[in-house]
Amino acid sequence: MLKSNKINYSTAAVLASLGLSACGGSDSEPTTSDRARLNLAVSDAPVDNADSVWVCFSAIELVGNGEGTQVFEIGTDTNTIEENDVCKDEAGETIANTRGINLLEFTGSESESLLSGVDVKAGSYGQLRLVMAEGSHVVDGDTTIGLRVPSNELKFDGLTLAADSTANYTVEFDLRMALVNPVGQDGYLLKPRGVRLVDNQEIGHIEGTIAEALLIAQECTVAPADLSEPVATVYLYPGHDLDVTTLADNGGSEGLEAYASTSVNFDGATDYNFEIGFVVAGDYTAVWTCNTNDDPEVDDDISLITDGLQEIQVSAEGEVTVITFGAE
């Protein structure tokens, strides 16, 4: 049976009207210390082949912990983000209770909130789901192309919410892995691969630069007139002391898949910058390449530059780790 967080608020209101407190009910009713608050946001790693990627969110579902399926619908529940008019059906009509978000506006450590301070029972939940609506699309120049999500939902592993606490989670979209354009099919497909749910207490962010002299030495493009045009790509792999022959591109057949990847862009002045946000704390190895086209469905011929690779340790609590390739 579907449950909404509005049920909790209604119960609290009834108790208040009777002059009772939530902790004064029967043994089966949760006390204040049995509750937790949940915040959920979305963020993205940038992709090269689109000007905007609009994803339509309909609801968030929290499953398990003896509560069945709790549904938080966009535009209906007070703790969700407000609906907007971005998501349209085939007739061009706005789909009610949806929120269209351009993921490319929230890259690196930036994020957009979906849920804010939702009051739920503390404990372990088996699954969190993002329910998607029609109307998602990709804009590339003057062309708008439809974007589909398999089964219209993204499913994530469970999470544990401590009693009397506020938990902050983020869904990180790595579009370089997740956004594909299947041959023989209409439009783009957003695959679960490359989309991960992270606890904000357990992640850090990466910021970095590549020296122009290093880019020139490798015959990369430098100082493009169009600042949205990437000049290089950085790949991040889990662990240290890696066998560089096993490092795969997105969709590659080598043994070790990238944890994340991102574009390197010229800032219009002197620097060539990149960001990777919401990285789970741990040891990583960063390498780069002049290649900027990486089809996640194909084993591309990409030459990773492993000389001068960077072995780093990402710390938790949102700390920023800085990477510099080449002399400043």
DSSP H or E run through 216: helix 212-217
Beta bridge partner(s), residue 107: 44
Per DSSP, the residues of 142-193 read TEEEEEE-GGGEEEEEEEEE-TT-EEEEEEEEEHHHHEE--TTSSSEEE-ST
Residue 153: C-alpha distances to residues 4, 112, 236 (Å): 18, 18, 27
Cβ 5 vs Cβ 120: under 8 Å: yes
Cβ 122 vs Cβ 159: under 8 Å: no
pLDDT on residue 15: 35
Q: What is the pLDDT along the chain (328 residues), one digit of tens a residue?
A: 333 333 343 333 333 333 333 333 334 444 457 999 999 999 998 787 789 999 999 999 999 999 999 999 999 888 999 999 999 999 999 999 999 999 999 998 999 999 999 999 999 999 999 999 999 999 988 899 999 998 999 999 889 999 999 999 999 999 988 998 887 778 899 988 889 999 999 999 999 999 999 999 999 999 999 998 999 999 999 999 999 999 998 877 778 999 999 999 999 999 999 999 999 999 999 999 999 988 888 877 789 999 999 999 999 999 999 999 996 5
Q: Which of 79, 86, 88, 87 is CA-nearest to residue 113? A: 79
pLDDT on residue 327: 62
DSSP H or E run through 26: none
DSSP H or E run through 6: helix 5-17
pLDDT on residue 304: 93
pLDDT on residue 11: 36
Instruction: Tell me the backbone φ, ψ of residue 208, rounded to 5 degrees.
Output: -160, 175
First to last CA, the chain: 59
Count of residues making up the chain:
328
Sorted by sequence, the CB contacts under 8 Å of residue 154 that are 6+ apart come out as: 129, 130, 132, 171, 192, 195
Please give the model's pTM, rounded to 2 decimal places: 0.85
Cα-Cα-Cα-Cα torsion 138, 46, 221, 251, nearest 10 degrees, comes to -80
- Cα distance between residue 56 and residue 147, in whole Å: 10
- Cα distance between residue 115 and residue 73, in whole Å: 10
- 74: which 2 tokens? 């966009």
- 198: which 2 tokens? 């992270």
Q: Which of 286, 275, 283, 285 is CA-nearest to residue 315? A: 283
- Cα distance between residue 249 and residue 205, in whole Å: 21
pLDDT on residue 50: 86
Which of left, alpha, beta for 108 (phi over 0: left; psi -120 to 50: alpha)? Answer: left
Amino acid identity of residue 326, one-letter, is: G
